[in-house]
């Protein structure tokens, strides 16, 4: 087995959080190593039009944006590794990570930026119409449906919040829920029912997302009544699947504290976890905003927190050696 690859900072994940951490760490001389994981570039690589990332007057493509961020990180001195980590040892520093091919990585600090994935229904047409009418983020894509008819699928806080947000762009929002009551907080339900732009279809589940062929995209959803079995069709221009997100934190179960939904706990206002030298950034610890720009900001925080941690550790080591 080859010798471990060592760095002052190992970054797990190469989305906006991981790449921003890399840029700041590289500029600070930390020579970070980014381990890209199963989805290099993160969720933006499967996003088409991006209109809400600062700095671009025109719509840009998600994959292009991530290519530019990676090029910037490379330019300032980041090393990229294509590997999938299957085990981590956080019991001592340097932290030790093992790739699925047996490669070993050791980092004096670790930034966890593995992101989160939207939960999907798995219904026919959902994947094929992704970015062509089907989305899992109203704040990302709602702007593209100004004045159009949209549906939101779900019954929890996420679904209600998405429906309410979409009324900023659409006067015809329909919430589709498979039960006869919502699971969201009472105050959110009150706002939803009081909004004249929103209607609710109860006891309905989505059987399929229906496209009209290129370039038309989504034209509606096929529904089935969960009580009677009756089938129906709901025309729409956009469909937002809002049944929650799952953070990619399986690797850290039992090793780092996380909430009931699997999001890593960090000290308020920082990226610090309970283990000194281990930081979390982006959607692994953010279940509220989940935006590329907030993830990038948290990546910056993680790099600055790590730089401060290492400076203090170096000072203590120097004092002890005297």
The mean per-residue pLDDT over the stretch 124-141 comes to: 91
Mark which of 180, 212, 242 sits at the end of a domain: 242
pLDDT at 44: 79
Look over the chain and give the mean of its residue pLDDT values, rounded to a whole number. 93
* Non-local CB neighbours of 291 within 8 Å, separated by 6+ positions: 52, 139, 140
Which of 83, 87, 137, 260 is flagged as catalytic? 137
Tell me what percent of the residues of the chain surpass a pLDDT of 90: 78
259 phi and psi, to 5 degrees? -80, -175
> Is there a single domain that holds both residue 18 and residue 99?
yes
pLDDT at 1: 57
Give this prediction's pTM.
Answer: 0.77
> Is there a single domain that holds both residue 88 and residue 132?
no
> Is there a single domain that holds both residue 127 and residue 41?
no
Residue 140 falls in the annotated catalytic set = yes
| Distance, CA of 72 to CA of 38 (rounded, Å) | 21
pLDDT at 314: 87
Contact indicator for 272, 305 with CB cutoff of 8 Å:
yes
> Is there a single domain that holds both residue 66 and residue 209?
no
Which of 3, 49, 89, 141 is flagged as catalytic? 141
| Distance, CA of 108 to CA of 277 (rounded, Å) | 7
pLDDT at 225: 97
> Is there a single domain that holds both residue 232 and residue 251?
no
Tell me what percent of the residues of the chain surpass a pLDDT of 70: 98
Contact indicator for 40, 82 with CB cutoff of 8 Å:
yes
Quote the number of domains for the chain: 2
C-alpha distances (whole Å) from 32 to each of 8, 21, 105, 192, 299 are: 6, 9, 11, 46, 13
SS3 of residue 211 by DSSP: strand
| Distance, CA of 302 to CA of 282 (rounded, Å) | 10
| Distance, CA of 54 to CA of 116 (rounded, Å) | 22
Is residue 214 scored above 80 in pLDDT?
no
Residue 300 falls in the annotated catalytic set = no
Mark which of 191, 219, 242 sits at the end of a domain: 242
SS3 of residue 263 by DSSP: coil
The mean per-residue pLDDT over the stretch 208-235 comes to: 92
Rg (CA), the chain: 22
The mean per-residue pLDDT over the stretch 261-265 comes to: 94
pLDDT at 294: 95
The mean per-residue pLDDT over the stretch 106-119 comes to: 93
Q: pLDDT grade, residue 273 (50/70/90)?
A: very high
Range of the domain at 251: 5-117+245-321
Report pLDDT digits (tens) over 4-16. Answer: 999 999 999 999 9
| CATH code for the domain of 156 | 3.50.50.60
> Is there a single domain that holds both residue 17 and residue 93?
yes
Contact indicator for 232, 223 with CB cutoff of 8 Å:
yes
> Is there a single domain that holds both residue 174 and residue 218?
yes
Contact indicator for 176, 204 with CB cutoff of 8 Å:
yes
The mean per-residue pLDDT over the stretch 272-278 comes to: 98
> Is there a single domain that holds both residue 137 and residue 199?
yes
> Is there a single domain that holds both residue 220 and residue 290?
no
Which of 140, 237, 283, 286 is flagged as catalytic? 140
SS3 of residue 26 by DSSP: helix
Pairing of strands 95-99, 204-211: unpaired
Report pLDDT digits (tens) over 24-38. Answer: 999 999 999 999 987
pLDDT at 28: 95
Residue 236 falls in the annotated catalytic set = no
pLDDT at 112: 98
> Is there a single domain that holds both residue 309 and residue 234?
no
Is residue 212 scored above 70 in pLDDT?
yes
Burial of 16 (C-beta count, 10 Å sphere; 0-12/13-18/19+)? buried
Report pLDDT digits (tens) over 35-91. Answer: 998 777 777 776 667 888 999 999 888 889 999 999 999 999 999 999 999 999 999
């Amino acid at each position: 087995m080859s010798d471990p690859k060592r760095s002052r900072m190992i970054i797990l994940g190469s989305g906006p959080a991981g790449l921003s951490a890399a840029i700041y760490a590289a500029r600070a001389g930390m020579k970070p190593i980014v381990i890209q994981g199963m989805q290099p570039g993160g969720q933006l690589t499967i996003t088409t039009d991006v209109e809400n990332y600062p700095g671009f007057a025109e719509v840009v493509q998600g994959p292009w944006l991530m290519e530019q961020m990676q090029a910037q990180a490379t330019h300032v001195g980041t090393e990229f590794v294509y590997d999938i980590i299957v085990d981590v040892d956080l019991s001592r520093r340097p932290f030790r990570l093992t790739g699925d091919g047996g490669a070993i990585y050791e980092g004096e600090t670790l930034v966890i930026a593995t992101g989160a994935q939207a939960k999907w229904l798995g219904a026919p047409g959902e994947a094929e119409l992704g970015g062509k009418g089907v989305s899992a983020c109203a704040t990302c894509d709602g702007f593209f449906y100004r004045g159009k008819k949209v549906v939101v699928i779900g019954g929890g806080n996420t679904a209600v919040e998405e429906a309410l947000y979409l009324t900023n762009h659409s006067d015809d929002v329909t919430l589709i829920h498979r039960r006869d009551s919502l699971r969201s907080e009472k105050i959110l339900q009150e706002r939803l029912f009081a909004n004249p732009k929103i209607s609710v279809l109860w006891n309905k589940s989505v059987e399929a997302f229906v496209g009209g062929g290129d370039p038309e995209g989504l034209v509606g959803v096929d529904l089935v009544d969960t009580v009677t079995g009756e089938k129906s069709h709901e025309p729409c221009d956009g469909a937002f699947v809002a049944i929650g997100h799952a953070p990619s934190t399986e690797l850290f179960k039992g090793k780092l504290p996380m909430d009931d939904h699997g999001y890593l706990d960090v000290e308020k206002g920082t990226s610090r976890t309970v283990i000194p030298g281990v930081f979390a950034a982006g959607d692994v610890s953010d279940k509220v905003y989940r935006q590329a720009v907030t993830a990038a900001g948290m990546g910056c925080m993680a790099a600055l927190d790590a730089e401060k941690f290492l400076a203090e550790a170096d000072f203590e080591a120097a004092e002890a050696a005297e």
